Amino acid sequence: MNAIAVFCGSSMGARPTYAEGAARLGSELARRGITLVYGGASVGIMGVLADSVLQAGGQVIGVIPTMLEEREISHRGLTELIVVGSMHERKLKISELADGFIAMPGGPGTMEELFEIFTWGQLGLHRKPIGLLNVDGYYDGLISFFGHMNKEQFLQDKYLSMALSDSDPASLLDTFAAYTPPEVKTYIKNSQT
């Protein structure tokens, strides 16, 4: 893997462990020579993540839409900052640059990015690993909800393992290296309803 996209919060969150987890992930990416691709901001755990990669000698590509870049939250010390016209262009560019995706703690924007990339994986638009860096159990409820979606037959069995989860960045990245994507989403026929 050459580049990993990370979706995470533009705030620090309620616990210092979220920033600590971002710093650990950033150091691990740099140690492995994996470029960080992220939303390009200097604030929140996004900023902590980028700074930790850079401080460890790694490469960071930020992708930020003009509307946010103009608000002066873009990180000016990155290896490369790509400014795009919209949030949609941002997500597309990030997906093109990345060989895998990790979601760290974050809010609705992080969830939206995670679920879009998850859906794209189901549809076969990419075959890249998707992981949840489950710092302090942040994603326990979501992992449980994936099980609920499956039980209620809105998520096929083969996709339960598509969102890899670990609390340790190194272990999660090791899992990425062994990832085998599931088959492309199939649909039931009218005769099966």
Question: How crowded is residue 17: how many other Cβ atoms within 10 Å of its Cβ?
Answer: 15
Provide CB contacts within 8 A for 167, sequence distance 6+.
133, 134, 135, 136, 137
Domain count of the chain?
A: 1
Distance CA 128, CA 100 (A): 5
Judge whether 104 and 7 are in contact, CB under 8 Å: yes
CATH number at residue 178: 3.40.50.450
Judge whether 162 and 130 are in contact, CB under 8 Å: yes
Q: Is 117 exposed, middle or buried (0-12, 13-18, 19+ CB in 10 A)?
A: buried
Residue 21: C-alpha distances to residues 26, 34, 46, 148 (Å): 9, 17, 11, 27
Residue 153: C-alpha distances to residues 122, 128, 150, 159 (Å): 15, 24, 5, 12
Query: Which residue type does 129 have?
Result: P
Q: What is the pLDDT of residue 189?
A: 61
* Helix-helix angle 169-177:16-31, to 10 degrees: 50
Q: What is the pLDDT of residue 41?
A: 92
Range of the domain at 163: 3-192
Region of 183 on the Ramachandran plot (φ > 0 left; ψ -120 to 50 alpha; else beta): beta
Query: pLDDT averaged over consecutive 10-residue blocks of the chain (193 residues)?
Result: 96 96 98 97 95 98 91 88 95 96 97 96 93 97 96 91 94 94 71 54
**Could you tell me the pTM of the whole model?**
0.93
